[in-house]
Amino acid sequence: MADRPLSPHLSIWKWGPHMLTSILHRVTGDGMALVGLGVLLWWLGALASGPAAYATFTAVATSWFGYVVLVGLSWAFFNHMTSGLRHFVLDIGAGYEIDTNKAWSTASPIIGIVLTAAFWAALLLL
């Protein structure tokens, strides 16, 4: 086998917001699948097991650690959603211009943070 670098080699890529958005999309999808599934199964199991088990779940979910996990899951959802919408637009053939791609790659995680903050503000204030 030839002793040559893989094509394209990592040294030719310049870091950009689209790379961060892509990595965050993968990480949030995996996080929702692993952590979200665990929380969902625990919630369903506690719901089916009776009031004492559900009280334990509620106590943990409303502790500072539980709020960190739930806010993280909701951020993962909103970030993954905005990134998915960006990919949907790219799939229909729009948004490939460099400036447009950079703008939406930068806006996607920011919109995810804003939507998460709005969601938790509405949840806690209403």
Kindly report, residue by residue over 3-61, the tens digit of the pLDDT: 766 666 666 777 888 889 999 999 999 999 999 999 999 999 999 999 999 999 999 99
In a domain, 13, yes or no: no
Helix (H, G, I), strand (E, B) or coil at 94: coil
> Phi and psi at residue 41, in whole multiples of 5°?
-65, -40
**Confidence (pLDDT) at 4:** 65
CATH number of residue 96's parent domain: 1.20.1300.10
Range of the domain at 65: 19-125
**Confidence (pLDDT) at 95:** 86
In a domain, 71, yes or no: yes
Give the angle subtended at the CA of 111 by the CAs of 108 and 115, to the nearest 5°: 140
Cα–Cα distance measured from residue 107 to residue 102, given in angstroms and rounded to the nearest whole number: 8
In percent, the amount of the chain with pLDDT more than 90 equals 81
Q: How many domains does the chain have?
A: 1
In a domain, 43, yes or no: yes
**Confidence (pLDDT) at 15:** 81
In a domain, 37, yes or no: yes
Dihedral over alpha carbons 23, 29, 30, 32 (to 10 degrees): 140
Instruction: Give, in order, the Cα–Cα distances in Å from 4 to each of 1, 8, 39, 82, 124.
Output: 9, 11, 46, 38, 57
In a domain, 87, yes or no: yes
